[in-house]
Structure 1
Amino acid sequence: MTAGSIFSRILGAIYIIPWRLMFGILLYYQANALYVQGYNVYSFFLIISIAGIPSAIAKQVAHYNALNEYNVGVTLYKKGMLLAAVTGIICALILYFGAPLLMLTNNNDANIIPVMHSLAWAVLIIPIMSVTRGYFQGYQDMAPSAISQFTEQLARVAYMLLMTYLIMRVFHGSWVSAVSQSTFAAFIGAVFGIAILGVYYFKRRDYYRELRENSNNDVHVNSSRLYREILQQAVPFIILGAGITIFQLIDQLTFFKLMDFFRGYSNFVLNELYTIFAGNANKLIMITISLSSALAVTVVPLLSEAHTHHDTNSVRKEITNGMLMFEFVMLPASLGMAAVAGPIYRVFYGNDNNAFSANILSFSSIIAISFGIFTVASAIMQGIGQNKRAVKYFIIGTIVKILTQAPLIYFFGTFGPLISSGLGFMVANYLIFRSLNHQYHLNLALAAKKTNRILLYSILTYLAALIMVWIENRLIGRFVNVYNSKISLIITIVAALVGGFVYIYCTLKTRLADQILGSKVAKLRTFLKIK
Structure 2
Amino acid sequence: MSINSQTEMQAKKSPQKEPTAKDKMLRGSAWMTAGSVFSRVLGAIYIIPWYTWFGKDNLAANALYTKGYTVYSVFLMISIAGIPSAVAKQVAHYNAQNEYAVGQRLYKKSLLLMLAIGFLSALLMWYLAPLLSLGEADVIPVFRSLALALILIPVMSLTRGFFQGYQDMFPSAMSQLVEQIARIIYMLAATYIIMQVMHSNYQLGVIHSTFAAFIGALGGLLILGWYYWRKHKELKQYALQSTNQLKISDRRLMADLLLQSVPFVLIGASTTLYNQLDYFTFKPTMISLSHISLKTINDLYAIFAGNDNKLIMIVVALASAMAATAVPLLSEAYTKNDHKKIATQLADALELFLIVMLPCSLGMAAVAKPLYIVFYQYNITGIYVLSFSAYVALPIGLFIVLSSLMQGIYQNKKAVKYFIIGFLVKVVVQVPLTVWLQAFGPVMATGIGMMVSNILMIRYFYYKYHLDLDRLERRFDGLLLFSFATFAVALLIVLAASSVINLEYRLWSFLVLVIAASVGAFLYLYLCLKTRLADKIIGARVSRLRKWLHIK
TM range (shorter): over 0.9
* Unpaired stretches in structure 2, ≥5 consecutive residues: 1-31
Q: Structure 2: how far apart are the matches of 1:220 and 1:61?
A: 15
How far apart are the structure 1 equivalents of 2:162 and 2:328? Answer: 16
SS in 2 for 1:98: helix
Of 83, 86, 110, which residue of structure 1 is paired with 2:113?
83
1:360 aligned partner: 385
Contact 1:276 1:357 in 2 (8 A): yes
- Once the two structures are overlaid, the 10-residue window that deviates more, 109-118 or 61-70, is 61-70
Which moves more between the two structures, 68-77 or 118-127?
A: 68-77
Over 3 Å counting, the alpha-carbon distance change for 1:217 and 1:528 in structure 2 is: closer
Please name the residue that 1:228 is paired with. Answer: 255
- How far 1:297 moved relative to its partner? 5.6
After TM superposition, the structure 1 = structure 2 runs for residues 53-452 of structure 1, keeping only pairs within 5 Å, are: 53-65=83-95, 67=97, 69-104=99-134, 108-212=135-239, 217=244, 219-295=246-322, 298-350=325-377, 352=378, 354-452=379-477
Does the 8 Å contact 1:327/1:454 carry over to 2? yes
> Equivalents in 1 of 2:168, 2:323: separation in Å?
20
Distance 2:103 2:342 in 1: 28
Question: What are the equivalent positions in structure 2 for 1:8-47 lying under 5 Å apart?
Answer: 8-24=39-55, 26-47=56-77
- How far is the alpha carbon of 1:68 from its aligned partner? 5.1
Aligned position for 2:37:
6
Question: What is the total number of aligned residue pairs between the two structures?
Answer: 521
C-alpha displacement of 1:161: 0.7
Structure 1 vs Structure 2: percent identity of aligned residues?
50
CA distance in 1, matches of 2:88, 2:475: 34
2:26 equivalent in structure 1: none
Deviation at 1:199, TM superposition (A): 2.1
Distance 2:53 2:79 in 1: 33
2:234 and 2:463 map into 1 onto residues whose CA distance is 46
Alignment partners' CA distance in 2, 1:469 and 1:102: 43
Which whole-Å CA distance do the structure 2 matches of 1:241 and 1:276 have between them?
24
- Which residue does 2:548 correspond to in 1? 527
Map Cα deviations across residues 250-284 of structure 1 (whole Å, 9 max, x no partner): 00111111111122322221221111111111111
Query: Secondary structure of 1:498's partner?
Result: helix
Superposition deviation, residue 529 in structure 1? 2.2
Q: Report which stretch shifted further, 121-130 or 440-449.
A: 440-449
Instruction: Measure, in 2, the Cα distance between the counterparts of 1:398 and 1:164.
Output: 37
Q: Which has the higher contact order (CA 8 A, sep 6+)?
A: 2
CA distance in structure 2 between the aligned counterparts of 1:77 and 1:296, rounded to whole angstroms: 21
Distance 1:3 1:49 in 2: 26
In structure 2, how many angstroms separate the alpha carbons of the residues matched to 1:208 and 1:59? 17
Question: Structure 1 residues 88 and 280 mapped into 2: Cα distance closer, same or farther (>3 Å)?
Answer: same
Distance 1:529 1:293 in 2: 33
Which has the larger displacement, 113-122 or 188-197?
188-197
- Give the secondary-structure state (helix, strand or coil) at the position aligned to 1:438: helix
CA shift, 1:188, in A, is 1.0
Q: How far off is 1:190 after superposition?
A: 1.1
Shift of 1:213: 5.3
What amino acid sits opposite 1:455 in the alignment? L
Classify 1:419/1:241 alpha carbon distance in 2 versus 1 (closer, same or farther; 3 Å): same
- Matches of 1:88 and 1:114 in 2, distance apart? 19
8 A contact 2:92–2:331 mirrored in 1: no
Decide which of 482, 495, 502 is 2:503's aligned counterpart. Answer: 482
Deviation at 1:498, TM superposition (A): 1.6
The answer as to whether partners of 1:297 and 1:322 remain within 8 angstroms in 2 is: no
Partners in 1 of 2:505 and 2:311 — Cα distance? Answer: 19
**8 A Cα contact 1:292 1:325, kept in partner:** no
1:514 to 1:270, Cα distance in 2 relative to 1, 3 A: same
Q: State the alpha-carbon separation in 1 of the partners of residues 304 and 519 from structure 2.
A: 27
TM-score by length of 1: 0.94
Shift of 1:389: 0.3
* Change over 3 Å in CA distance of 1:324–1:62 after alignment to 2: closer
How far the C-alpha of 1:180 sits from its partner, in A, is 0.9
SS across alignment from 1:221? coil
Contact preservation (8 Å) 1:79, 1:226: no
Query: Which segment is superposed worse, 354-363 or 143-152?
Result: 143-152
Q: Distance in 1 between matches of 2:324 and 2:234?
A: 29
- Native 8 Å contact 1:320 1:442 kept in 2: yes
- Letter in structure 1 aligned against 2:86: A
Relative distance call for 1:515 and 1:161 in structure 2 (3 A) is same
Q: Residues 305 and 220 (structure 1 numbering): CA distance in 2 closer, same or farther, change over 3 Å? A: closer
Counterpart residue identity of residue 155, structure 2: I
Deviates more, 1:288-297 or 1:385-394: 288-297
Q: How far apart are residue 59 of structure 1 and its match?
A: 3.0
- Equivalent residues in 2 for 1:490-505, closer than 5 Å: 490-505=511-526
Displacement of 1:321? 2.0
Q: Is the 8 A contact 1:299 1:321 kept in 2?
A: no
